[in-house]
Amino acid sequence: MPHSPVDPIALTADLVRCPSVTPEEGGALVLLEKLLTDAGFDCTRVDRGGVSNLFARWGDKDAARTFGFNGHTDVVPLGDEAAWTMPPFGAEQKDGFLWGRGATDMKSGVAAYVAAAIDFVHTTPPKNGALILTITGDEEGDAVDGTAALLDWMQENGEAMDHCLVGEPTCPDELGQMIKIGRRGSLTAWITLTGEQGHAAYPHRANNPLPAMARLIDRLSSHELDQGTEHFDASTLAAVTIDTGNPATNVIPAQCRATVNIRFNDAHSGASLTDWLQYELDRVTQEFGVKAEMEVKISGESFLTPPGDLSDLVSKAVQAETNMTPELSTTGGTSDARFIKDHCPVVEFGLVGKTMHQVDERVEVALIPRLKTIYGRILRDYFA
């Protein structure tokens, strides 16, 4: 029976209709597993810690070259559902867009690649080549049991990718503008300063932690971490909250809490930044006589896949299909590429990300088959 090409628009719509808000699977991975299995892929569910993940392989384990793809089907919460003008899981098409949570981030990217991969192995199956897809249901959450679980399972079962493409939306305004060849690291620090509660009319009988926290946050915020590196913008620190939980105007509180988030380039590590934060914290405790506690979470270290064969391959495919030379960038937040970079070279390329995480998230319908075409060219060129 002749192969019928997979419609990536219809597949995007089917995935958007799955209410897969992290960590709910919502039917999205079940749908993909059946589609890929029917197309001749060997599929394995790699669920861990209440998170659903899917591993799919076409071709032999001992193939000369194995090309990987990573994506996610989980989505962020809806926010104010009453603010949506279209059903958030309706996948309705209007004004040239397909509307719904996950339409941009990143069910359209997953659909485009799955459609391209299935068509590729049916029309031009690579000799002595293999394809691997790793699809997680926990990219938007803690990500402890998502792509990390898939990579752990792969190592235990002798599975490996030689190169990997992540299908996150990477383009700011037009398809073809940008490829991600790395990402900044992310660190969050929760700081608590403890003084001594007292009456606001008798501040000498208390030890107010607020001036100490104000001094600390000022020092952290005004400090220039760096001026950028060859492939990265300057690192940034943002104070995201300062709070005492004190409703009284005549009470000096005993504690003040603050949270800062640092997005850092390859001039730093999570450990070096933690040491710097601790140094500044120690200075303030000595100056103001307060006690201090700090909890640090490093969501990911900065990483870079240096420009080379993989970025050249993707760039040439993008340029051939869009007539646009993509910028090689490291901007934006974190992605699951931060886990894959320890396994194999990885780059990211996908659609325009303007509406991701927003109310009325939507994707331009005409771009989905164009992305499928780009992904198909990448596969053909890789195995040529």
Residue type, 174: E
* Helices vs strands, H then E, count in the chain: 9, 19
Report the distance separating Cα 30 and Cα 137, nearest Å.
Answer: 11
Give me 2's structure tokens.
């002749």
Q: Which residues contact 366 (CB under 8 A, 6 or more apart)?
A: 96
What is residue 203's DSSP assignment? Answer: G
Task: Let me know: does 110 contact 368? Beta carbons within 8 Å.
Answer: no
266 catalytic residue (yes or no): no
139 catalytic residue (yes or no): yes
Residues 16, 3, 368, 139, CA torsion sign:
positive
Q: Within 10 Å of residue 192's Cβ, how many Cβ atoms?
A: 16
- Please identify which of the residues 74, 145, 162, 168 carries the catalytic annotation: 74
Q: Could you tell me which residues are beta bridge partners of residue 218?
A: none
Q: Could you tell me which residues are beta bridge partners of residue 185?
A: 264
Report the distance separating Cα 115 and Cα 369, nearest Å.
Answer: 9
What is residue 171's DSSP assignment? Answer: B
Report the distance separating Cα 117 and Cα 113, nearest Å.
Answer: 6
Report the distance separating Cα 21 and Cα 310, nearest Å.
Answer: 32
- Please identify which of the residues 139, 145, 159, 266 carries the catalytic annotation: 139
Q: Within 10 Å of residue 344's Cβ, how many Cβ atoms?
A: 17
- CA dist 206 to 198, 210, 217, 223, 350, Å? 5, 12, 21, 30, 56
Q: What is the DSSP string of 296-307?
A: EEEEE--EE--S
Q: Annotated catalytic sites, by residue?
A: 74, 139
